[in-house]
Amino acid sequence: MKLVGRKIYSGQAEGEALVTSMAISFFGGVDPETGVVVEHGHELEGQSISGRVLVFPTGKGSTVGSYTLYRLKRAGLAPVAIVNAECETITAVGCIIAEIPCVDRVPIERLRTGMHVRVDGERGVVETGAS
Amino acid sequence: MKLTPEEQAMLDGAAGWSTRKAMEILVTLGTIYGAERMVEVTSVQVAGVSYDNLGEAGLAFLAEMAEGGGRARVLTTLNPAGMDVEDWRPLGIDATFAANQQRVLEAFARMGVVTTCSCTPYLVGNLPRYGEHIAWAESSAVCYANSVLGARTNREGGPSALAAALTGRTPAYGYHLDENRRPEVTVQVNARLEENTDFGALGKVIGAKLEGRKVVPTIVGVERASLENLKSFCASIATYAGAALFHMPGITPEAERFSCPAETVAVSQDEIDAAARSLSDAEPGEVDLVSLGCPHLSLREVARIAELLEGKQVTKEFWITTARPTKQIADMMGYTQIIEAAGARIVADTCCVVAPIRGRFTALATDSAKACYYARAKNRFKTLFMPFDEVVAEALR
């Protein structure tokens, strides 16, 4: 399956998808020391976003959340790529400063946790299945 | 987006790594929000200054931007820090936090940012004029700049404001464009507004009435509002309604450009009174922190506190928070001496919202609707919401 969206930040990455239909707050919602989602009641609560292609509709919360992505990247705990339905300031800035490939405006409901996903940030393309 | 040759050169790295990063941020935001071009900005206010919010990650990023040659191209000031930069020990700040906070300010200083740490930059020399494009963070100051001054800014975050400082640009979308400054709803106020608390309560009522709709209101029925009233109102309506711009005929400069929208929401005296009551959940006997200065106090307010405290002794911890240049004038005029002789503290650079004091006090007395929100949500304090002079009386009680 090939989904074509919009470039937010360039770079190529692939990995196992971690998909949620809920918005993510990186500040306060994700533990910057471990990469584990800690927001109470979140679908991904208790799961690590590290090394995954993180798929979620949009970001929310404090703009300081951009720095959480930066901190995770420096610790080797960031997602390898991010796919959004509609990207907003916090996630976009986080991806730029942490240099995480990011694509938005793709139909994320077609992606499932556990799928192998390749992200091409420059072309705005998300592909699933074996390469 | 269409970039000028100079903007394209910044994006290509001609002005160094930090400027390239900054331009990448702005081009991406411009793309997300449908901007066709950049506008030049004349003033920037950066948020994300308190080490309590930034953490090690934020500090590392700022240090990297300073190291990478980032320099502010326009007048840039800072939001409050987590402590009084010169006199942090009396606030109960630990030495490790103080050292980290100093590293944050050093990184900003290396980038040529003016390190006055205040949420009221417009009172201490960062004062844009009508119609200027600016890039400000700090929701209360954004609302004040757009509404009261008639300057033009979106609600920036820390990194996007810094990016504007390092490039002198911001993408032209949102409140930079004429069409988005048009009011969409009329708020008819049928109540008497005098104190900062009345204006703070009005902000909360409007927030509830608009139910999360991000619309620009025109607020009619307000006959008079001082600078201090407007400062309080901006903080409240930004906190409770997410508003970045309102118009107030006879008071704000752009109001006359537009007619009042047909959709009208009325606000009664009973609703203002109920909102004011809802901001108090503490009994007077529980108050162990009294604070004025959210947003940071004007010189007139500091002078009033000195007048009320002269020759008296406070019985509770009392933080009087303001920008350092205002404190320096208070020092010069002898207000500081009177306040300190009364046992209160005049605190610069920080406030009761951003200082790392979660759980340290039981209940806060204040005249700020915004401070009540954060005292409860962030610091787990109860609150007592009362007019300015009564807050001073509470400190003496």
The DSSP annotation for B346-391 comes to EEES--TTTSS-TTS-SEEEES-HHHHHHHHHTT--EEEE--HHHH
For B27, which residue in chain A has the nearest alpha carbon? A8
Distance in angstroms (rounded) separating the CA atoms of residues B38 and B309? 50
- Predicted confidence at residue A64, as pLDDT, reads 80
Instruction: Give the pLDDT mean for B383-391.
Output: 98
pLDDT digits (tens, 9 = 90+) for A112-124: 999 999 999 999 9
Three-state DSSP state, B290: strand
Chain A interface disruption, residue of B32, B160, B353, B358, most A CBs within 10 A: B32
Q: Per-residue pLDDT for B178 more than 80? A: yes
Peptide bond into B295 cis (omega under 30): yes
Percent of chain B with pLDDT over 90: 93
pLDDT digits (tens, 9 = 90+) for B213-227: 889 999 999 999 999
Hey, are the CB atoms on B58 and A9 less than 8 Å from each other? Answer: no
Distance in angstroms (rounded) separating the CA atoms of residues B379 and B266? 33
Give chain B's end-to-end CA distance (angstroms, integer): 60
DSSP string, A52-120: SEEEES-B-S-TTHHHHHHHHHHTT-S-SEEEESS--HHHHHHHHHHT--EEESS-GGG--TT-EEEEE
Distance in angstroms (rounded) separating the CA atoms of residues A58 and A68? 16
pTM: 0.92
Hey, are the CB atoms on B53 and A71 less than 8 Å from each other? Answer: no
Instruction: Identify the band that residue B202 occupies on the pLDDT scale cut at 50, 70 and 90.
Output: very high
Instruction: Give the pLDDT mean for B248-267.
Output: 97
Q: Per-residue pLDDT for A131 more than 70? A: no
Rounded (5°) CA angle B224-B230-B234: 140
The sign of the CA dihedral B14, B16, B17, B19 is negative
Instruction: Give the pLDDT mean for B291-320.
Output: 98
DSSP string, B26-87: HHHHHHHTT--BEEE-SEEEE----HHHHHHHHHHHHHHHHHTT---SSEEEE---SS-SS-
Q: Per-residue pLDDT for B45 more than 80? A: yes
* Residue of A47, A38, A35, A27 whose CA lies nearest to A76: A35
- Amino acid at the residue A73: K
**Which H helix or E strand runs over B318?**
strand B317-322
Distance in angstroms (rounded) separating the CA atoms of residues B161 and B167? 10
Give the closest of A64, A71, A96 to B25, CB-based. Answer: A96
- Predicted confidence at residue A62, as pLDDT, reads 77
Q: Per-residue pLDDT for B126 more than 70? A: yes
A9: which chain B residues are within 8 Å (Cβ-Cβ)? 24, 28
Q: List, in order of start, the domains of chain B with CATH numbers.
A: 5-178 (3.30.499.10), 182-278 (3.40.1060), 284-396 (3.30.499.10)
Q: Per-residue pLDDT for A30 more than 90? A: yes
Instruction: Identify the band that residue B212 occupies on the pLDDT scale cut at 50, 70 and 90.
Output: confident
For B161, which residue in chain A has the nearest alpha carbon? A63
For residue A12, give how far its alpha carbon lies from the nearest alpha carbon of chain B (Å): 17
Name the residue with tokens 């820090």: B81
**Which H helix or E strand runs over A20?**
none
Q: CA–CA distance from A7 to each of A109, A118, B19 (Å)?
A: 19, 14, 21
Hey, are the CB atoms on A64 and B58 less than 8 Å from each other? Answer: yes
Q: Per-residue pLDDT for A130 more than 80? A: no
Q: Is the ipTM of this complex over 0.90?
A: no
- Predicted confidence at residue B101, as pLDDT, reads 97
Question: What count of residues does chain B have?
Answer: 397
Hey, are the CB atoms on A66 and B159 less than 8 Å from each other? Answer: yes
For A9, which residue in chain B has the nearest alpha carbon? B28
pLDDT digits (tens, 9 = 90+) for B104-120: 999 999 999 999 999 99
pLDDT digits (tens, 9 = 90+) for A37-95: 998 899 999 999 999 999 999 998 777 889 899 999 999 999 999 999 999 888 999 99
Mark whether A62 is an active-site residue: yes
The runs of H, that is alpha helices, within chain B are 5-11, 17-32, 51-67, 95-110, 139-144, 158-167, 196-210, 227-241, 269-278, 299-309, 324-333, 335-341, 369-377, 388-396
Q: Which two tokens stand for residue B263?
A: 């959709």
Burial label, B1 (beta-carbon count in 10 A; 0-12, 13-18, 19+): middle
- Predicted confidence at residue B57, as pLDDT, reads 85
Distance in angstroms (rounded) separating the CA atoms of residues B138 and B118? 10
Mean pLDDT computed over every residue of chain B: 96
Cβ atoms B158, B48 nearer than 8 A? yes
Instruction: Identify the band that residue B76 occupies on the pLDDT scale cut at 50, 70 and 90.
Output: very high
Q: List, in order of start, the domains of chain A with CATH numbers.
A: 2-128 (3.50.30.10)
Instruction: Give the pLDDT mean for B184-207.
Output: 97
Hey, are the CB atoms on B158 and A89 less than 8 Å from each other? Answer: no
Hey, are the CB atoms on B58 and A67 less than 8 Å from each other? Answer: yes
Chain B interface disruption, residue of A10, A60, A67, most B CBs within 10 A: A67
pLDDT digits (tens, 9 = 90+) for B320-376: 999 999 999 999 999 999 999 999 999 999 999 889 998 999 999 999 999 999 999
